[in-house]
């Protein structure tokens, strides 16, 4: 049994988000909590390349009906990804642990799982964030109309472009609440778009909302001092509304001396001390500890600023502003989520373009074999 879960851990570690081994073996405890041994063995037959039921059944050496039932059960448990396209057969693929399997457990949390995942995060985060899976965009009120802002840098624009929208509970604030350390801020605050919304709705992880409802959530997030973090792609499939006390990403970023170097963000705050009254509102809004009051003026540490704009939108004297970083420091934002995951995999040295090409060719060959 131990070998099965160890193989699954290695399988997940090959995926872009990683799943590194630890001395304590906490990563294996997590897998044993989530997967039955049968599910763990079956998950080894899924890869980054989506495949139809017949192909996966052939890989696993089991009947199609058994494979179909198992795939549906595992997708509903949030252990694998289910992709449904119009006029095409349903396909399945492996899900990475973060962002993926963990977030899909939002309705199935218990203190033991939360404890193990929190123990594991310091080991997982450096691998999962070698290329950021999320990026930081400013709240709308912090932007100057004269600034150059691309559509994918505007939360409201991402919402308006979405065809289907779901809202789900924030797993970070929910698990902190269960652990007795919650902040009480807006919990139903994760916006998911398109096929991601379909998956969340099908698995009962969220509810469908109209475009105006999503815009209202963004406004409430600004009021609550939540950082906006969409997926790190121009065609973003989600927007997370995050607090520095609960969010697994921000909590880990805060442990580094220079969080600004680890995020994908086009902006940085600037402070004008001459007009600052030293009221301290900005220090309570900043989720990264980038601001403090010194000699009755706000002092900014740009190495800690992630360009979220929360300090700017509520500064009563207008002493804070967002500035676009120099071109040399502008993060490259991949066009799609797939391209973003490829970048992460490459950053971790887990697969190359040749590896990806081989996986795609192998998948096509397997599909042809199932037709004969």
Residues 269, 221, 242, 117, Cα dihedral to 10°: 170
* pLDDT for the residue 361: 62
Q: Are residues 264 and 354 in the same domain?
A: no
Q: What is the mean pLDDT of residues 294-298?
A: 91
Residue 342 lies in a domain: no
Residue 339 lies in a domain: no
Q: What is the mean pLDDT of residues 280-294?
A: 95
Q: Are residues 144 and 234 in the same domain?
A: yes
Q: Are residues 115 and 222 in the same domain?
A: no
> In whole angstroms, what is the distance from residue 338 CA to residue 159 CA?
20
**Strand locations in 207-358 (E):** 207-208, 227-230, 238-242, 267-271, 291-294, 297-300, 320-324
39-71 residue pLDDT tens: 999 999 999 899 999 999 999 999 999 999 999
Is residue 365 pLDDT above 70, yes or no? no
Is residue 371 pLDDT above 60, yes or no? no
Q: Are residues 207 and 239 in the same domain?
A: yes
**Domain span at 305:** 131-329
126-162 residue pLDDT tens: 999 999 999 999 998 888 767 788 999 999 999 999 9
Residue 29 lies in a domain: yes
DSSP H or E run through 287: none
* pLDDT for the residue 85: 81
> In whole angstroms, what is the distance from residue 70 CA to residue 329 CA?
46
Q: What is the DSSP string of 87-103?
A: TS--EEEE--IIIIITG
* pLDDT for the residue 199: 94
* CATH number for the domain that contains residue 277: 3.30.70.20
Q: What is the mean pLDDT of residues 288-307?
A: 95
Q: 53 with 42: CB under 8 angstroms?
A: no
Residue 227 lies in a domain: yes
Q: Are residues 139 and 81 in the same domain?
A: no
* pLDDT for the residue 352: 63
Is residue 359 pLDDT above 90, yes or no? no
Residue 343 lies in a domain: no
Q: 123 with 20: CB under 8 angstroms?
A: yes
Q: Are residues 96 and 148 in the same domain?
A: no
Residue 195 lies in a domain: yes
Is residue 339 pLDDT above 70, yes or no? yes
* pLDDT for the residue 56: 96
**Residue 310: both structure tokens together:** 């929360």
What totals of helices (H) and strands (E) does the chain contain, helices first? 14, 12
Q: State the total domains in the chain.
A: 2
Q: Are residues 230 and 154 in the same domain?
A: yes
Q: Are residues 183 and 244 in the same domain?
A: yes
* CATH number for the domain that contains residue 72: 1.10.10.10
Q: Are residues 97 and 212 in the same domain?
A: no
Q: How many CA within 13 A on the CB side of residue 24?
A: 11
Q: Are residues 322 and 237 in the same domain?
A: yes
Q: Are residues 111 and 144 in the same domain?
A: no
242-284 residue pLDDT tens: 999 999 999 999 999 999 999 999 999 999 888 999 999 999 9
Q: Are residues 176 and 312 in the same domain?
A: yes
User: Which phi and psi (to 5°) does residue 111 adopt?
Assistant: -55, -35
């Amino acid at each position: 049994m131990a070998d099965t879960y160890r193989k699954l851990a290695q399988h997940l570690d090959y995926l872009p988000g990683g799943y590194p081994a630890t001395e304590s073996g906490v990563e294996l405890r997590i897998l044993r909590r989530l997967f039955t041994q049968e599910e763990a063995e079956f998950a080894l037959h899924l890869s980054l390349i989506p495949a139809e039921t017949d192909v996966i059944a052939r890989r696993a050496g089991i009947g199609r009906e058994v494979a179909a039932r198992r795939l549906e059960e595992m997708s509903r448990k949030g252990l694998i990804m289910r992709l449904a396209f119009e006029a095409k057969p349903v396909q399945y693929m492996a899900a990475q642990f973060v962002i993926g399997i963990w977030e899909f457990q939002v309705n199935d949390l218990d203190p033991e799982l939360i404890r193990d995942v929190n123990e594991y995060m310091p080991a997982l985060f450096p691998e999962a964030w070698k290329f950021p899976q999320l990026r930081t965009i400013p709240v709308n009120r912090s932007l100057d109309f004269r600034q150059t802002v691309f559509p994918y840098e505007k939360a409201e624009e991402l919402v308006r472009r979405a065809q289907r929208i779901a809202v789900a509970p924030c797993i970070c604030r929910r698990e902190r609440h269960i652990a007795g350390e919650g902040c009480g801020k807006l919990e139903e605050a994760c916006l998911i778009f398109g096929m991601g919304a379909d998956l969340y709705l099908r698995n009962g992880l969220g509810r469908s909302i109209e475009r105006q409802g999503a815009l209202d959530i963004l406004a409430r997030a600004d009021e609550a001092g939540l950082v906006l973090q969409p997926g790190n792609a121009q065609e973003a499939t989600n927007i997370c509304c995050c607090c520095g006390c609960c969010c697994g990403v921000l909590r880990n970023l805060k442990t580094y001396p220079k969080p600004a170097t680890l995020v994908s963000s086009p902006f940085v705050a600037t402070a004008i001390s001459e007009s600052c009254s030293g009221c301290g509102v900005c220090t309570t809004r900043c989720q990264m500890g980038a601001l403090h009051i010194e000699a009755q003026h706000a002092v900014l540490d740009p190495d800690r600023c992630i360009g979220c704009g929360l300090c700017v939108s509520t500064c009563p004297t207008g002493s804070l502003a967002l500035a676009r970083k120099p071109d040399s420091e502008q993060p490259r934002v991949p066009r799609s989520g797939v391209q973003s995951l490829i970048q992460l995999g490459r950053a971790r040295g887990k697969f190359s373009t040749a590896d990806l090409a081989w996986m795609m060719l192998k998948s096509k060959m397997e599909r042809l074999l199932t037709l004969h």
